[in-house]
Amino acid sequence: MVVLLTVVGIVLFVVGLLFSIAWHELGHMSTAKMFGIKCTEFMVGFGKTLWSVRRGETEYGIKAVPLGGFVRMVGMLPPARERRDTGARKMSRWRAMAEDAREASYMELSPRTRTGSSTSAPPGSA
């Protein structure tokens, strides 16, 4: 009986934690939607996706590690500043990750919402 109650307690704790995280992220998503920002993902947890479903333009899901969540908003990262060519100077690991995230975010934009023509390259690419 003690084992059963322990298991039920753990399951209720995890479900409560997931609900709390989802409620918090819903605040982010509802505010974004209110201001007309496209949200492509609403996920509770981190890591591998355990379950997801697409409703309209948004994919809702649960990931393996229930220690947070996120809402992916198109245009969340500002465009990179124009930089002079640094030649052989290498980017730091953090800067390279930020540039990769900017490029991926840029690719989510439809051609009509990008600045410039529909065939323009992402900022910072040659």
Per-residue pLDDT reduced to its tens digit, 26-53: 999 999 999 988 899 999 999 999 999 9
How many structural domains comprise the chain?
2
Do 36 and 6 lie in a common domain? yes
Give the least confident one: 40-44, 73-77, 115-119. 115-119
CA distance to 11, 17, 60, 88, 108, per residue, from 50 (Å) = 16, 16, 11, 42, 23
Do 63 and 95 lie in a common domain? no
Identify the domain containing residue 100 by its residue range.
Answer: 74-81+90-126
Active site residues: 25
* pLDDT bucket at 110, cuts 50 / 70 / 90: low
Task: Report whether pLDDT(16) > 50.
Answer: yes
pTM, two decimals, is 0.63
pLDDT at 87: 58
Residues in the chain: 126
pLDDT at 11: 94
Do 7 and 53 lie in a common domain? yes
* pLDDT bucket at 121, cuts 50 / 70 / 90: very low
